[in-house]
Amino acid sequence: MRGTGGPLLCIGDLLCDVGEEEAVEGKGLNETPKSIPSPSSSSSSVSTTLFDLSQPPDLPQLFQENYDQLNKVFDDNDHSWTALTLKMCSALDTATKLVESTNSNSRFLLEKIVELEHVLEKGDATREAAMAIQTSYSSQIAQDSISSLNEESERKFCEKKKKLMNHKGTRKKTRREGHINWREEVR
């Protein structure tokens, strides 16, 4: 059974009222209560701003300030404790939404980090493959130049061999012609 209003309002009624207000207003996850009416002893209604979301709030400090105000009101036997309790509950609700949002954002960030790790792994594998190709290409070029040098050396060797064979053929002819001519040609 719900209690009736007044200074003897219980915490359960306040929390129930906060839940009803949110259901009626249809607030989303990212919306926070900007102002809460605060009755004073002179019964004038003053709007109190909790905090602006454009600047990140210091939640422990905000909670401590509201808690200290609430304790002070309890000690002074002031009837404004209901508004302060509501303000504190709203701050806690805002903190809960902020934590949920942070958890969601951290999960999103974790997914992006995992994707980035996969991209980096692919990049490393691609770099290693490119280096292997470059090494293979460099060794192939070295082999080609060595083989072309070998071919050139072999060609020169063959030419020298032909010249030498031609020269030996000349020696043989000279030998046939006579022993003296051959010795002169060798010198």
Is the entire prediction scored with pTM above 0.85?
no
Instruction: State residue 27's pLDDT score.
Output: 47
Domain boundaries, the chain: 30-111
Instruction: State residue 29's pLDDT score.
Output: 42
CB-CB contact of 97 with 30 (8 Å): yes
Residue 141 to residues 46, 99, 127, 128: CA-CA distances in angstroms?
86, 62, 21, 20
- Low-confidence residues of the chain: pLDDT under 70: 1-57, 59, 167-187
Residues 6+ apart with CB under 8 A from 68: none
Q: How far apart are alpha carbons 176 and 92 in whole angstroms?
A: 122
User: What are 74-109's pLDDT values in tens digits?
Assistant: 777 777 777 777 877 887 888 788 888 888 889 999
Here the tokens at position 175 are: 């030998």
Q: How far apart are alpha carbons 88 and 45 in whole angstroms?
A: 18
Instruction: State residue 17's pLDDT score.
Output: 63
Instruction: State residue 142's pLDDT score.
Output: 77
